[in-house]
Amino acid sequence: MDAAHSVIALLIPIVAIVMGIGIAFWAIYWDHRAKQMKYRERELMIEKGLTLPSMDPEKQAPTLEECLRRGIIMVFLGIGLGIAYFVLLHAWGPPAWICGVGGAIVEMIGIGYLIYYAIAKKQKAI
């Protein structure tokens, strides 16, 4: 049984490396295919004399509803990480400070979204 465990212990990193490289190549290939199809579509539009859309549309500012949704999600995620900090503080496992710092950062971003929502809503009402 000892030999089987050593073979499995050897195969795990090899399979992980091969699968990681394979997934990376697969993602690169499909990204290339998507770009190729986008350029082919543009070529056909040019041949037919149609108006071309821009290649990279400008990012639009998030709507008020998106800011509210993001803010609520991040605040509660920060609260959850804060709870995880106190749970891990008395348990064995990963360092608790990671959850504490992560929770504080995420919660502050969420509060920032909620403040932006409140200010933008007041500005829109004026």
At 87-96, the pLDDT tens digits run 888 777 678 8
At 52-91, the pLDDT tens digits run 877 666 677 778 899 999 999 999 999 999 898 888 887 7
Which residue, 104, 46, 97, is CA-closest to 80? 104
Instruction: Give percent of the chain with pLDDT exceeding 90.
Output: 46
Rounded average pLDDT over 103-124: 92
Q: Which two tokens stand for residue 63?
A: 């709507």
Number of domains in the chain: 2
User: What is the extent of the structural domain holding 13?
Assistant: 1-57
User: What does the alpha-carbon distance between residue 75 and residue 81 come to, in Å, rounded to a whole number?
Assistant: 10
Q: Are residues 34 and 81 in the same domain?
A: no
Last residue of one domain, picked from the residues 42, 57, 72: 57
Q: Are residues 1 and 52 in the same domain?
A: yes
> Has this prediction a pTM greater than 0.75?
no
DSSP string, the chain: -HHHHHHHHHHHHHHHHHHHHHHHHHHHHHHHHHHHHHHHHHHHHHHHTPPPPPSSPPPPPPPHHHHHHHHHHHHHHHHHHHHHHHHHHTSSSS-HHHHHHHHHHHHHHHHHHHHHHHHHHHHHH-
* Residue 126 maps to a domain: no
At 35-51, the pLDDT tens digits run 999 899 989 999 998 88
Question: Phi/psi at 95 (nearest 5 deg)?
Answer: -60, 135
Alpha-carbon torsion, ordered 12, 13, 14, 17, to 10 deg: 120
Q: Are residues 50 and 80 in the same domain?
A: no
pLDDT at residue number 109? 93
pLDDT at residue number 55? 66
